[in-house]
Amino acid sequence: MIKFVPIPASLFQENRNRLRKLLPPRSLVILNANDVMPANADGTLGFIQNADLFYLSGILQEQTILVMAPDASDPSYREMLFLRRTDEHTLIWEGPKLTRDEARRISGIDHVRWLDEFPLIFRQLMCEMELVYLNTNEHYRALPEVETRDVRFIRECQRQYPLHRYCRLAPLMHELRTVKAPIEIDLIRKACQLTGRAFRRVLRCIRPGINESELEAEFAREFIRNRATFAYPPIIASGPNTCILHYTRNDRQCRAGELLLLDVAANYGSYNSDMTRTVPVSGRFTRRQRQVYDAVLRVFRQMTRALVPGKTLADLRQEAETLIAEECRQLGLLPQRTRRASRGNEPPVRQFFMHGVTHPIGLDVHDVLKPGQKIGPGWVVTCEPAIYVREEGFGIRLENTFLITDKDPVDLMADIPIEPDEIEGLMKH
């Protein structure tokens, strides 16, 4: 679960102000918290708040509803939070929930009510408002299989009020969330610093014979003691596992002469970072490993300079594929002249580099954006070129988190070792 970190309420107030400016007259906005997902028997999974609700309120509690109706005739209805009330059973088994005063301090919303007040107030607002903005997950790579609280609310809302005009809130939230406020950037920067601290700690532990799970535990220790969590399921992949893009078993013994790929980063205050390093288990790269590592590092350096406003993710992927294809030719992985593969018309380089080179990051690791949207100042993105040589049993990926500006991008992980000589030196000591 995300650890609570105090964040100035001004961030959430400004986020709501920005959304308010995008709304037509007589609009009603309703956002629901995520569900507490079941596990097995009577167990539940850790609660993860709906990112859009958090973005607009800062509230991390389940069963929360945010309502915005800027044109409501009753001023107290224009911005409201509805919270779960603490009863005796909840107090004993779960502990106290947020008080209304606590929620006011966190969110900057003056009018905080209990959930049992929602149905009547909701009806009053629906009788007054014309446009109803409801939220769904519209990330272009998502394939939702589980019905969310928002989806259930949409169905019930349309059943009760079929004559209203319903609108999608997600495109507005995507527009707002891509550009990060200074407070958000500071939280991401802190997550990057904790990631670097944990990486240096883990470098001292890597040796032949250690299990991937032991290294995962070292990352967890550093994150949790600093009120951070894993930004995503950690990838700690040794040997042939380095060629598995989303390997998360983390249970293999590291062996001498192999490489270890660490795609691990911290979440701090609900904001994520993203880092990947590939290091030698024995402390020194072999000649071939160093050749491929240097090739990926050259592409990394070139692509970081390419992170400038006005480009799309597709533009950057094409640039990266061109650079990696040339490196693969120099490494003898591709012939000097190559034709496009017939299957799907994919470039041959994709057998060695099959994913994108960048993605936005923030409240979500793969943060929201509109397809085809051009990156701009205030965005935070990753840069992650790679070369996977499955026939030789290893892959190398390098990744940092960057802030896009009007000028050069700012590497928020510039102090985390990435040069091979520095990594070997730290592992030696």
The model's pLDDT over 178-204, given as tens digits with 9 standing for 90+, comes to: 999 999 999 999 999 999 999 999 999
pLDDT digit string (tens) for 276-310? 999 999 999 999 999 999 999 999 999 999 999 99
Q: Give CA–CA dist 365/221, Å, rounded.
A: 21
pLDDT of residue 343: 53
pLDDT digit string (tens) for 204-243? 999 999 999 999 999 999 999 999 999 999 999 999 999 9
pLDDT of residue 342: 44
- Strand ranges, E, within 191-327: 228-230, 235-238, 259-263, 266-268, 271-272, 276-280
Return all residues near 162 (Cβ < 8 A) that are at least 6 apart: none
pLDDT of residue 417: 98
pLDDT of residue 339: 52
Residues of the chain with CATH 3.90.230.10: 182-428
Residue with tokens 């920005």: 18
**Angstrom distances, CA of residue 124 to CA of 39, 128, 154:** 37, 7, 17
Return all residues near 365 (Cβ < 8 A) that are at least 6 apart: 231, 232, 272, 274, 359
Q: Which CATH architecture has domain 182-428?
A: Alpha-Beta Complex (3.90)
Residue with tokens 């003898």: 332
CATH, domain range 9-177: 3.40.350.10
pLDDT digit string (tens) for 65-93? 999 999 999 999 999 999 999 888 889 98
Tokens representing 7 are 């964040």
pLDDT digit string (tens) for 331-369? 999 998 655 544 567 899 999 999 999 999 999 999 999
**Angstrom distances, CA of residue 400 to CA of 181, 277, 359:** 20, 9, 11
Q: Give CA–CA dist 33/53, Å, rounded.
A: 7
pLDDT digit string (tens) for 233-278? 999 999 999 999 999 999 999 999 999 999 999 999 999 999 999 9
Residues of the chain with CATH 3.40.350.10: 9-177
